Structure 1
């Protein structure tokens, strides 16, 4: 049977190549996703493993803040220089040195523009003089030794075109620095920084600019000969006490890698979901192809039965063909996956996530690719294989065997039941804000639509097809009848396109609603005339706000800062403002209490968070930040959840008293109404120009800035979904090609009765357009329902407006019809070129 299966594959190469492409594309997405995420993880773990110290001593965080880092990046969350001497005296320590590291340091190019990190941080460090404890290696020049000298990483130097001896301008959280570039260095083993830039100062300068005099961010320790890292860490913990975080090199790399994995889980899941979509859509193409191939080979398979083959052997023959197809497709898909990973690497690089690690196909990726390619093909071919085994041997003796399609009664009943249950779950989840219930309801509704698709195809084709005879006469009527002849085939052909457009439509509604929500929130909340912020939410120096305050015509300058805290043991984000100025910047809708109740000993809580925690005005909560500083704060008021403020708001005095990082996130500027707006705007531009890391935006520009992130995400999503649409197009092409082969004799008779080649081609095209329009209409309708449900359930996450992009939906329907025309090009040409006599004689 193996020989028979191989012979059948070789005999139907053209028929199977389209199904093979579905496997190739599906596996390519899986392999590309796994390869890309491996490179992503290797990039960061390589940075983590580049640490030179055997053991590190750091301030102990009160709770885990993940990869954020900035919550511990302040003078109050640092180590005194005197601790270095105490560490050196511990048994087993060979050497120890203090180290400074902080964000918000950027090198300007010769035109005064900031080094483009794509949103990655700009870091400042102190240069460690002990080579055993220095993670950086000089490539050229020397280390900085004075306040007017710096060294930068080789990647930044190459990007900006700087060489040793050049004069550079450095932006810091404090003052701007003019310095001489005295050296370039490579960080870690391979020098990769994932797009970040790194500037090194001498220790005293780093402390003065980035932290505080006599303070260190971390102390690096090397072990004496014969002392293991674990033993040394135990000695240090015993001597220093429990107030410090003591970690071995290996433990620190593992902890950071675990935090990284958690932080990047969204990206991995995001990409694997689309890989699953590609495989799911591709399975319909494979199922449809094998179903039609089995139907066309009825006489051949029945002949095998007549010659003594058992049902199991016939089933095995078809499944062997599927396995071979899956293995070949997976092999080609691995190569496509590597190319896709390369494209993803470039795409994410444009979004600010530079992948320094090389792309490598690991053993796990290869194994998963072959397993998935074979499994999907086997599952898709199983039902056709079972049907093949049921072909009666007597069919081999009859050339006129006609298979009677099964009625759609069972499909109708089961589909309606699943649709009703799913719709109820979807509605309940949307009304109750339960995302898991919405997800289950959405999946169930998708299954229900797939089950009901052949049933729904009949009225749709009748309705749309009613116009075909008026447009194309007899040719149009024949195209309509062909689409109606086998509703299951029509449904299977259109299902791939339906799923692709359902996802595009659903995400389109989410994206449009997010854009509308941003506009509404900014219009309702923003009172300030201008907002100063940095790209990708990076914090920036408070000197910007200080400079703006001295501009004539500026009435109010309100600063916003962020942080993470545990409030009564529950971790959440907070924002901090000057209570006297926040009302000038933002219109906060208070549902209980008053905005002027915000003060040094109080906190404002969102209504949703207050409901979750059972808080009301007058209650007391314990507010603790990562550096261990804590305060008891009184709830002074509750505000609506449509303000875009997050769950908690504190006063700037509380933020500073608990050691908050002295960097701004946003600066809100309100003008004096009597001032000349043009002159003030010019003065603001002059200030911002001196700090290229930040941007000045009015209300409309601020909205555009916020919408840009949504647009980038939608571009990425639609680019990935284009793969499923491509598979859908292949499905239409494949089905039509096989349909033409199946109807060879019929087409020959039509030609013999006077239909010319042009009309034959038109008939195939019209059939393809009807099928594609059906898939597009069904997908858009399903996607609209899912998109509206998701928008409703995400109201508490900031989606306060619902918007349906009607022009995009109409365009999707039009493109569905165009997809049919494009997909029909090859089948129509094949049908038009059939030889009349050969076609009539075909059996």
Structure 2
């Protein structure tokens, strides 16, 4: 049987290669994702390990904030603490350090050096180099107007020693002379970030406060272990400080990184799963058709004494060889995928240094996934092959039994009812989890796949009714060929259906998100201009102060992002001043009083109040990241509005609780009769000294927010192109095998006068029918999925349903075009088939 397996593989190289390509693409995405995420983890782990001292001491946060860009600001420590730690037995050195984001280099062109979202970090120079800074040229900074740049930033900007550089800091804009360059860590890689080192006094003034540090870097004396030193330091300092060894600090930072970037792994693996799921249809179709074409051959094997198990094993062996070869190619292609992902993320600031990491788990996962999917997809055709009766070897007209669709139809109907019930429950019930809608949508997809052979017949008859009238015999043959084997047509269309359903669903979600953003800003925010950071970083309150003094400005409101615990639960909220609360945020107050909260008060939204059981007038316990605690009176409850946030605190209160004294948004309102153009020019003149800050009117602000959704949607749709590409391969494969299966029929058609052009048209029309069937099913499922998910995302800010009809019409047209393109090669091959050889073929 081994010879039979190898002979069949060599005899069907082209057919199997097309199926193998589906395995290759799916495995490549799985392997590429794992390689990329392992490389990402290695980059940061190495960076953390090489830039952490033996023991690190920092202020212990009262809680760990979550869900915020950049995390919570570091809390200052008294500089005298470094001397206290230095006196502990076993300490070789204890150096205080200042390190904080918010420092950006302005290039020679006057623009901020792009970090693609990575932070611009400012730090105090560490003479002990305990934080991993190594001077590579020049000298250390010694005065306020001197800085050292990291090598990558210096190379990117062209700045050299002696050049004057402009810097943006959380405080004032600063001009300084470059006196040196540094390497950070062993590799010098900063994952896209920039690093500027000041002398200690300047760093304290700009990034912390005079006489304070953000932490203390401790080096152990010879013969003293890190854990032992950490215990000694901890015992000497008492409570309120976090003491961690290098390993502990590195592990904590790595865990935080994995948590914040874990969505990348999940996101990419989901699309790899989609690719494999779609590819399984191609493999199933290929082996079903190969088995059908080899009916006499398999029957002859049975007649010569081969058992059913041997016949099944021979088909599965072919699948196994295909799986191993496809997985190997997919693993190699996965390296290219990982390299592409590294390049793409590097373009947006996440630079990964060093070579790609190929861990043993990646190799195991690649082969396990590729082999499992391929063998499972080939199992049903293999079982059918074993049922070929030996007498079939003596007959030319024997066909593989198609089996009844009753059992499949019943299963599909049950799944359809269950999925529909879950969707109705998910959309009708209050606070229903989104997973209920997702599970219901998944059940409907599987139901559609199960029912697709039954649904194919009426669809093909209706959709293909006009073909004979327009294209005559070619149209009639195309419709009949598609109807001849509804299982095959359905399996081929199902691959495209999955891709179209996902594109449709995410298009609805994206369009609804854009519509919701527009309405939320229009309803909840009142402002003529908004000043905000182009790199999502906070900026100096000096901007708001200068804008307040401009002619034509009636009021200037400020909003800051903050982190507190409300009755023991971490919460991200806004700190606002009296102007913002009264004039900018148009709150729909449902209980108590609106307006800006005064000292000792707070406002919360309806969802938060309901979840915690709060009522107006109650006292709420609030704790800041610095451990400070306050008792605040609940002044009012407003209708939930994601653009406003779950709670509002006074700016002063937020500052007392460890909030960052930097603005996130500045809202400008014009005085009566003031010219919008003149005021905007004046505001832009103010922010000219702050290149990371931009001025937008409300329309531009809405477009900026919608642009972020559009960018995410573009990435998602780009990933879904992979599933559509695999679906195209499925149509190509099915048509090519169908042409081979109908070789004698093609010869007869040519013999009775069908022109090559008519034959090509027949195959193209058949492909269009298959593609349209899959597209229509996909559009229907995508509409259900998108509308259902939007309904349960109401509390997340997506409260407007918008269906992009034009885009979906284009998607339907593109699907028809996909059918035409997929049929090009099979149609050309069929039209070039020699008539006499086709007639001599035994089927």
Normalising by structure 1, report the TM-score. Answer: 0.98
Worse-matched range after superposition: 447-456 or 649-658: 649-658
What per-residue deviation string (whole Å, max 9, x for no partner) do you get for residues 488-521 of structure 1? 0000011111001111111111111111111111
- How many residue pairs are counted as aligned between the two chains? 840
Contact 1:66 1:259 in 2 (8 A): no
- Three-state SS of the structure 2 residue aligned to 1:185 is strand
Structure 1 residues 667-746: aligned runs within 5 Å:
667-746=666-745
Tell me how far apart the structure 2 counterparts of residues 423 and 228 of structure 1 sit (CA, whole Å).
62
User: In the alignment, what sits opposite 2:112?
Assistant: 114
Tell me by how many angstroms 1:580 deviates: 3.8
Tell me how far apart the structure 2 counterparts of residues 754 and 737 of structure 1 sit (CA, whole Å).
22
Tell me how far apart the structure 2 counterparts of residues 456 and 583 of structure 1 sit (CA, whole Å).
59
1:605 equivalent to 2:596? Answer no
Structure 1 residues 769-788: aligned runs within 5 Å:
769-788=768-787
User: In the alignment, what sits opposite 2:179?
Assistant: 182
Structure 1 residues 69-148: aligned runs within 5 Å:
72-73=72-73, 77-131=75-129, 133-148=130-145
Tell me how far apart the structure 1 counterparts of residues 70 and 404 of structure 2 sit (CA, whole Å).
65
User: In the alignment, what sits opposite 2:246?
Assistant: 249
Tell me by how many angstroms 1:72 deviates: 5.0
User: In the alignment, what sits opposite 1:44?
Assistant: 44
Structure 1 residues 234-245: aligned runs within 5 Å:
234-245=231-242
Tell me how far apart the structure 1 counterparts of residues 372 and 247 of structure 2 sit (CA, whole Å).
39
What per-residue deviation string (whole Å, max 9, x for no partner) do you get for residues 606-640 of structure 1? 10111111111111111112221121111111111
1:8 equivalent to 2:15? Answer no
- Three-state SS of the structure 2 residue aligned to 1:318 is helix
User: In the alignment, what sits opposite 2:820?
Assistant: 821
Query: Which residue of 325, 330, 333 maps to 1:333?
Result: 330
- Three-state SS of the structure 2 residue aligned to 1:391 is coil
User: In the alignment, what sits opposite 2:318?
Assistant: 321
Tell me how far apart the structure 1 counterparts of residues 291 and 789 of structure 2 sit (CA, whole Å).
41
CA-atom RMSD in angstroms: 1.4
User: In the alignment, what sits opposite 1:563?
Assistant: 562
Contact 1:124 1:201 in 2 (8 A): yes
Tell me by how many angstroms 1:348 deviates: 2.3
Tell me by how many angstroms 1:842 deviates: 1.1
- Three-state SS of the structure 1 residue aligned to 2:143 is coil
User: In the alignment, what sits opposite 1:662?
Assistant: 661
Contact 2:295 2:399 in 1 (8 A): no
1:290 equivalent to 2:284? Answer no
Tell me how far apart the structure 1 counterparts of residues 479 and 79 of structure 2 sit (CA, whole Å).
84
Tell me by how many angstroms 1:2 deviates: 2.3
566 and 652 in structure 1: CA distance in 2 versus 1, 3 angstrom threshold: same
Tell me by how many angstroms 1:69 deviates: 8.7
Contact 1:71 1:660 in 2 (8 A): no
User: In the alignment, what sits opposite 2:152?
Assistant: 155
Tell me by how many angstroms 1:286 deviates: 0.5
Tell me how far apart the structure 1 counterparts of residues 632 and 343 of structure 2 sit (CA, whole Å).
47
- Three-state SS of the structure 2 residue aligned to 1:596 is coil
Contact 1:465 1:770 in 2 (8 A): yes
Tell me by how many angstroms 1:111 deviates: 2.3
Worse-matched range after superposition: 340-349 or 446-455: 340-349
User: In the alignment, what sits opposite 1:29?
Assistant: 29
User: In the alignment, what sits opposite 1:303?
Assistant: 300
What per-residue deviation string (whole Å, max 9, x for no partner) do you get for residues 232-290 of structure 1? 00011111012100000010000111111111111110110000000000011101101
Tell me how far apart the structure 2 counterparts of residues 730 and 424 of structure 1 sit (CA, whole Å).
35
Structure 1 residues 333-732: aligned runs within 5 Å:
333-432=330-429, 433-596=432-595, 598-732=597-731
Tell me how far apart the structure 1 counterparts of residues 670 and 82 of structure 2 sit (CA, whole Å).
50
Query: Which residue of 224, 241, 246 maps to 1:227?
Result: 224
User: In the alignment, what sits opposite 1:768?
Assistant: 767
What per-residue deviation string (whole Å, max 9, x for no partner) do you get for residues 7-65 of structure 1? 21011101111001001100111111111111222222222112241001100011122
- Three-state SS of the structure 1 residue aligned to 2:57 is strand
Structure 1: tracts of 5 or more residues without a match: none
- Three-state SS of the structure 1 residue aligned to 2:100 is strand
- Three-state SS of the structure 2 residue aligned to 1:264 is helix
- Three-state SS of the structure 2 residue aligned to 1:299 is helix
User: In the alignment, what sits opposite 2:208?
Assistant: 211
1:273 equivalent to 2:273? Answer no
Tell me how far apart the structure 2 counterparts of residues 581 and 661 of structure 1 sit (CA, whole Å).
18
Tell me by how many angstroms 1:68 deviates: 5.5
Contact 1:141 1:182 in 2 (8 A): yes
Tell me by how many angstroms 1:421 deviates: 1.0
1:61 equivalent to 2:61? Answer yes
- Three-state SS of the structure 2 residue aligned to 1:47 is helix
68 and 580 in structure 1: CA distance in 2 versus 1, 3 angstrom threshold: closer
Worse-matched range after superposition: 813-822 or 330-339: 330-339
Worse-matched range after superposition: 45-54 or 667-676: 45-54
Tell me by how many angstroms 1:407 deviates: 3.1
Structure 2: tracts of 5 or more residues without a match: none
Tell me how far apart the structure 1 counterparts of residues 66 and 421 of structure 2 sit (CA, whole Å).
38
Tell me how far apart the structure 2 counterparts of residues 670 and 2 of structure 1 sit (CA, whole Å).
81
Contact 2:555 2:579 in 1 (8 A): no
Tell me by how many angstroms 1:3 deviates: 2.5
Tell me how far apart the structure 2 counterparts of residues 303 and 802 of structure 1 sit (CA, whole Å).
61
Tell me how far apart the structure 2 counterparts of residues 633 and 517 of structure 1 sit (CA, whole Å).
32
